[in-house]
Amino acid sequence: MDPSYARLREKGKSSKVGGTRRRRFSLLKAFPRWTALTLSILCLLPLSAFAKVYIDIDSPGSRRLPLAVLTLKAAPGGSPCPDRQVEEVIEKVLLNDLDVSGYFRTLAPDVFLVERDQVKFYPAKIDYRAWSLIGAEALILLRTTCKGGQIETEAQLLDVLTGKLLTWKRYKSESAGARRVAHRFANEVTKELTGVPGAFDTRIAYISNATGSKELYVMDYDGNGPRKLTALHSICLSPAWSPDGRKIVFTSFWKRNPALYLLDLRGASALKQMFPGFSPLCSGGAWSADGKWLAFSASLDGNTELFRVPAGDGTRPQRLTKNWAIDVSPSWSPDGKHMVFVSDRAGRPDLYILQPDNGKIMRLTFEGSYNAGPAWSPRGDAIAYVSRVGGAFQIFRIRSDGTDRRQLTEGAGDHLKPSWSPDGRLIVFSSNREGSSDLYLMRADGTGVRRLTWGPGDETDPAWSPARR
Amino acid sequence: MNSENPRRKFVMGVVIVMALFGFFGCAKKGQVAPGPEEIEPGGAETPVGGEAPGTAGEEEQGLSEETLQAGTHQEIQAQLEDIHFDFDKYNIQPAARLILKKNYEVLRGVPNAEVLIEGFCDERGTVEYNLALGQRRANAARDYLVSLGMDAGRVSTVSYGEERPLDPAHNEEAWAKNRRCHFVLLKK
């Protein structure tokens, strides 16, 4: 069988091997921008600016690149961290990210043939044979120094077979930002080896009833650091991020009837109700990827219809559907020209695709007795949704032309509310497969399922944030 | 309702309710039916004993004094029954029609009664679809009450979707209980 990835070292060539699509990437890249946050990045010169690496980004998990991660001692002259805690966090988080992606097989330190003292970061002194002997094809070296509350981390990605330096980054951050440093470098490693950056420096908004009422929360994509964002002592549902990651729109029963509320994550007390006239039911907000439109569903006097409104001006929502049936759960295509939604116009919930500009509607799903909860992939190639199989709801994916319908989850319990990572590689969903409802991650092909939340309450309605800029 | 004598209308309504209870032979309801107490101030019209099932009569007698003051709203509320639905359906079934008629008669007896209809679904399906479905159930119940003569301006609706289930269990029995509309007599 064709290997799922290939690492070729030809100049300027992309390849097609055994019919598997390959992505080409170049090491020539723009310098990352300084971020507005405490984290800062310096891009150091890649030594081998002409290397080409090819890896199949479409089937993670089937053949993984063996990779070793080694944390070195602090730079000479740099102050070492008081304990190894920060270094360990960075290494652990990075290893987890690489494992989640499905592209890599990280080697356990107990097979390493060299001690960390024997490796010199710069000028590089690395016995590549010692790494290739244990099967490593790529090597990541990490080095962190601490000063006051600040940390400075350098990270290198090396090609073990050629000895080439693929990328070298320096991150400065508060020590509380150590996890983000690891996520940022995981994005970078993914970019170098697949051509498309990872989306590990992201968050997931969700609903939890841990306090007794359903409130809005946010956590890192890997489940770390859950934070409660609301204290409405009501019911909050269906969060959705603005494309700039600064706002979350959600549904709440705060003023009796379900209505849309907008939370500005940068404002102190910036919660406001949207479209107060859209009553008794207004829910399911969804921003278009360019941030220009906000779609939602509302029931005014009759059944529930879809609306959209220019995101800057909340005053005159435009009605998109008009019929006797339920129309809910809009999700935009990445180009903003289409919208997938749920309607029972054929007698049961199914997915339909709407072109908001001309009102044309096409039915997408025909199989299954209950199809709902669609989420259009940020890569545009698939729509994730839930469908009832036997007595349980499972997550499926389908192309927007109705082909290639695939079941991604199986087993007992319901699997609901799929939401894509901004790079389209991962899906977060909620499931009660282990009793109470919790959030789970999986790859876009359904592999690599892992649980994210472990609290006593029910966690539901996950929404993956956009990539941080 | 623009009756010039709201109290009289209220009294009439309660009488009708009690008559209906008698007619449908609802022995269970007899235990909580507040009819006699409320109509006592009206004086003459206390025919309940004659029409209500005999079993109810004794208990109603025993409750007569306390409910005059504070219990009115609560006891009217207790007469408003839930209606139920099939999975993913919002049509009013024959059994629900009878209940809606009874609820209408109860509400008709309350001067300027305002009612909130709460629509609920079972836990199966998506949050968003169930919010819409619960709203359709509430709308269907509202439309039926209005068709009976209820003033549409006195009916409001809210959908809880799959939130706040009456029975939190995860089985057919609980789901059947949770697919419902609940009627709340609003306090003024």
Sequence spans of domains, chain A: 40-194, 203-464
Say yes or no for a CB contact (<8 Å) between B133 and A326.
yes
DSSP annotation of A81 reads P
Q: Which amino acid is at A233?
A: H
Distances (CA, A) of A184 to A26, A96, A171, A226, A227: 19, 13, 9, 19, 21
Lowest mean pLDDT, pick from A9-13, A66-70, A235-239, A322-326: A9-13
Q: Nearest Cα to A57, choosing from A12, A101, A123?
A: A101
Average pLDDT, chain A: 87
Q: Which two tokens stand for residue A315?
A: 């005053």
Q: Is residue A277 pLDDT above 70, yes or no?
A: yes
Q: For A147, list phi and psi in degrees, rounded to 5.
A: -145, 115
Distances (CA, A) of B9 to B21, B108, B111: 18, 8, 7
Over the stretch A197-214, which tens digit does the pLDDT of each residue have? 999 999 999 999 999 999
Q: Sorting pLDDT into bands at 50, 70 and 90, what band is A268?
A: low
Say yes or no for a CB contact (<8 Å) between A303 and B125.
no
pLDDT of residue B33: 35
Interface of chain B toward chain A, CB-CB under 8 angstroms: 88, 124-129, 131-133, 135-136, 138-139, 156-161, 163-164
Q: Is residue A190 pLDDT above 60, yes or no?
A: yes
Over the stretch A290-301, which tens digit does the pLDDT of each residue have? 999 999 999 997
Spell out which residues of chain B touch residue A281, defining contact as CB-CB under 8 Å: 131-132, 135, 158-159
Count how many residues are written for chain A. Answer: 469
Q: Which two tokens stand for residue B80?
A: 């408003």
Of A264 and A76, the structure prediction assigns the larger pLDDT to A264
Q: Nearest Cα to A282, choosing from A254, A302, A315, A304?
A: A304
Q: Are B146 and A360 in contact (CB under 8 A)?
A: no
| Residue carrying structure tokens 């029954």 | B81
Q: Sorting pLDDT into bands at 50, 70 and 90, what band is A57?
A: low
Over the stretch A395-429, which tens digit does the pLDDT of each residue have? 999 999 999 999 999 999 999 999 999 999 999 99
Query: How far apart are the C-alpha atoms of A183 and A181, rounded to whole Å?
Result: 5
| Residue carrying structure tokens 């939190």 | B168
Q: Which amino acid is at A371?
A: N
Query: How far apart are the C-alpha atoms of A161 and B66, rounded to whole Å?
Result: 91
Suggest the residue from B89, B91, B123, B129 to mutate for an interface test with chain A (most A CBs closer than 10 A). B129
Q: Is residue A18 pLDDT above 50, yes or no?
A: no
pLDDT of residue A92: 97
User: Which value does ipTM take for this structure?
Assistant: 0.87
pLDDT of residue A42: 43
Q: Sorting pLDDT into bands at 50, 70 and 90, what band is A468?
A: confident
Query: How far apart are the C-alpha atoms of A461 and B13, rounded to whole Å?
Result: 46
Q: Nearest Cα to A147, choosing from A79, A241, A60, A69?
A: A79
Q: Is residue B35 pLDDT above 60, yes or no?
A: no
Say yes or no for a CB contact (<8 Å) between B139 and A386.
no
Mean pLDDT, range B39-48, rounded to an integer: 32
Over the stretch A78-104, which tens digit does the pLDDT of each residue have? 788 877 889 999 999 999 999 999 999
pLDDT of residue B28: 39
Q: Are A201 and A187 in contact (CB under 8 A)?
A: yes
CATH T-level assignment (fold) for domain A203-464: Neuraminidase (2.120.10)
pLDDT of residue A56: 58
Query: How far apart are the C-alpha atoms of A418 and A441, rounded to whole Å?
Result: 9
- For the beta sheet containing A293-299, the strands, ordered from the edge strand earlier in sequence to the opposite edge, are A281-287, A293-299, A304-310, A318-319
Q: Are A446 and A426 in contact (CB under 8 A)?
A: no
SS3 call for B23: helix
Spell out which residues of chain B touch residue A206, defining contact as CB-CB under 8 Å: none
Neighbours of A47 (CB within 10 A): 16
Q: What are the structural domains, with CATH classification, of chain B?
A: 6-71 (no CATH), 80-185 (3.30.1330.60)
Query: How far apart are the C-alpha atoms of A280 and A292, rounded to whole Å?
Result: 26
Give the sign of the dihedral formed by CA B175, CA B181, CA B187, CA B188: positive
pLDDT of residue A50: 39
pLDDT of residue B12: 53
- For the beta sheet containing B83-84, the strands, ordered from the edge strand earlier in sequence to the opposite edge, are B83-84, B180-185, B115-120, B155-161
Per-residue burial over A222-257, b = 16 or more CB atoms within 10 Å of its CB, e = otherwise: bbeebeebbebebbbbbbbbbbebebbbbbbbbeeb
A299 touches chain B (CB under 8 A): yes
Q: Sorting pLDDT into bands at 50, 70 and 90, what band is A153?
A: very high
Neighbours of A451 (CB within 10 A): 13
Q: CB-based contacts of B41: which residues, under 8 Å, 6+ apart?
A: B68
Suggest the residue from A328, A343, A369, A389 to mutate for an interface test with chain B (most B CBs closer than 10 A). A328
Q: For B148, list phi and psi in degrees, rounded to 5.
A: -80, -15
Lowest mean pLDDT, pick from A147-156, A263-272, A454-463, B37-46: B37-46
Q: Is residue A339 pLDDT above 60, yes or no?
A: yes
| Residue carrying structure tokens 């789970």 | A440
> How many alpha carbons fall within 13 Å on the CB side of residue A458?
18
Q: Which secondary structure element, helix H or strand E, spans residue A397, and what is its range?
A: strand A392-398
Q: Is residue A38 pLDDT above 70, yes or no?
A: no
pLDDT of residue A61: 54
Mean pLDDT, range A311-331, rounded to an integer: 90
Q: What is the dihedral of CA B135, B138, B144, B150, to 10 degrees?
A: -120
DSSP annotation of A337 reads S
Mean pLDDT, range B95-107, rounded to an integer: 96
CATH T-level assignment (fold) for domain A40-194: Rossmann fold (3.40.50)
Query: How far apart are the C-alpha atoms of A50 and A11, rounded to whole Å?
Result: 7
